[in-house]
Amino acid sequence: MRHGHTELDTVTGRYLDWRLFRRFVAMVRPYRGQAVIALGLLPFIAGAKLIQPYLIKLLIDNHIVPGSLDGFAGLALLFLLALLGESLLLFAQGYLVQAVGQRIMADLRRQGFRRMLRLSTAFFDRHPSGRLVTRLTSDVENVGELFGAGVIASVGDIVTLIGIVAVMFWLSPSLTLVALAVVPPLLVILYLFRRNMRDAMRQVRARLAGLNAFIAERIAGIGEVRLFGQQRRTLDEFETLQNDYRDSTFRTIEWDAALYSLVEVLAAVAIAAILWKGGGEVLTGIASFGTLVAFIEYVQKFFIPLRDLSAKYSVLQASNASLERIFELLDEPEEPVGSGVYPHGPGEVRFEGVSFSYDGKTPVLKGIDLRIGPGERVALVGATGSGKSTLTRLLLQFYRPQEGRILIDGVDLYDLDPAELRRRIGWVSQEPFLFAGTLRANLDPAGTLDDAALLALLADCGMEEVAERLEGLEGVLSERGRNLSSGERQLLCLARALASDPALLVLDEATSRLDSLTEQRVGEALARAGRRRSVLLIAHRLRTAASADRIHVLHRGSVAEVGSHRELLAQGGLYARLWRLQELNGEPEEEG
Ligand X SMILES: Nc1ncnc2c1ncn2[C@@H]1O[C@H](COP(=O)(O)OP(=O)(O)OP(=O)(O)O)[C@@H](O)[C@H]1O
Our finding on whether 384 is near ligand X (CB under 6 A) is: yes
On the CB side of 410, CA atoms within 13 Å amount to 3
Q: State residue 249 phi and psi, 5-degree precision.
A: -65, -40
Of the pair 319, 386, the CB lying nearest ligand X is at 386
Q: Residue 479 gets which letter from DSSP?
A: G
Strands (E), 415-498: 425-428, 437-438, 476-477
In the list 28, 171, 364, 368, the residue contacting ligand X (rule: CB under 6 A) is: 364
Give me the least distance between CB of 312 and ligand X, in Å please.
43
Piece of the chain touching ligand X by CB under 6 A; list 212-220, 237-245, 382-390, 473-481: 382-390
Of the pair 314, 390, the CB lying nearest ligand X is at 390
The DSSP result for 92-157, as a single string, is: HHHHHHHHHHHHHHHHHHHHHHHHHHTS-HHHHHHS-HHHHHHIIIIIHHHHHHIIIIIIIHHHHH
Our finding on whether 247 is near ligand X (CB under 6 A) is: no
Give me the least distance between CB of 31 and ligand X, in Å please.
41
Of the pair 315, 381, the CB lying nearest ligand X is at 381
Cβ atoms of residues 354 and 413 within 8 Å: no
Give me the least distance between CB of 365 and ligand X, in Å please.
8
Of the pair 339, 384, the CB lying nearest ligand X is at 384
In the list 101, 112, 128, 387, the residue contacting ligand X (rule: CB under 6 A) is: 387
Q: Which residues, 6+ apart, have CB-to-CB distance to 365 below 8 Å? A: 354, 355, 356, 357, 387, 390, 391, 394, 401, 557, 558
Would strands 437-438 and 504-508 be described as parallel, antiparallel, or unpaired?
Answer: unpaired
Our finding on whether 194 is near ligand X (CB under 6 A) is: no
Of the pair 234, 390, the CB lying nearest ligand X is at 390
Our finding on whether 389 is near ligand X (CB under 6 A) is: yes
Q: State residue 365 phi and psi, 5-degree precision.
A: -120, 140
Q: How many chain residues touch ligand X (CB under 6 A)?
A: 12
Q: Binding to ligand X (CB under 6 A): which residues in 426-455?
A: 430
Q: Binding to ligand X (CB under 6 A): which residues in 488-527?
A: none
Of the pair 20, 497, the CB lying nearest ligand X is at 497
Give me the least distance between CB of 430 and ligand X, in Å please.
6
Q: Which residues, 6+ apart, have CB-to-CB distance to 123 below 8 Å? A: 332
Q: For the packed helices 289-331 and 183-220, what is the interaxial angle rounded to 10 degrees?
A: 30
Give me the least distance between CB of 354 and ligand X, in Å please.
13
Q: What is the CA radius of gyration of the chain?
A: 36
Our finding on whether 385 is near ligand X (CB under 6 A) is: yes
Piece of the chain touching ligand X by CB under 6 A; list 167-175, 310-318, 348-356, 388-396: 388-396
Of the pair 300, 357, the CB lying nearest ligand X is at 357
Q: Binding to ligand X (CB under 6 A): which residues in 104-133?
A: 125
**Residue 536 bridge partners (DSSP):** 378, 506
Cα 447 to the center of its chain, rounded Å:
28
In the list 390, 518, 534, 544, the residue contacting ligand X (rule: CB under 6 A) is: 390
Alpha-helix residue ranges (DSSP H) falling in 425-477:
439-443, 451-460, 464-469
Question: Site residues (CB under 6 A) for ligand X?
Answer: 125, 358, 364, 382, 384-390, 430
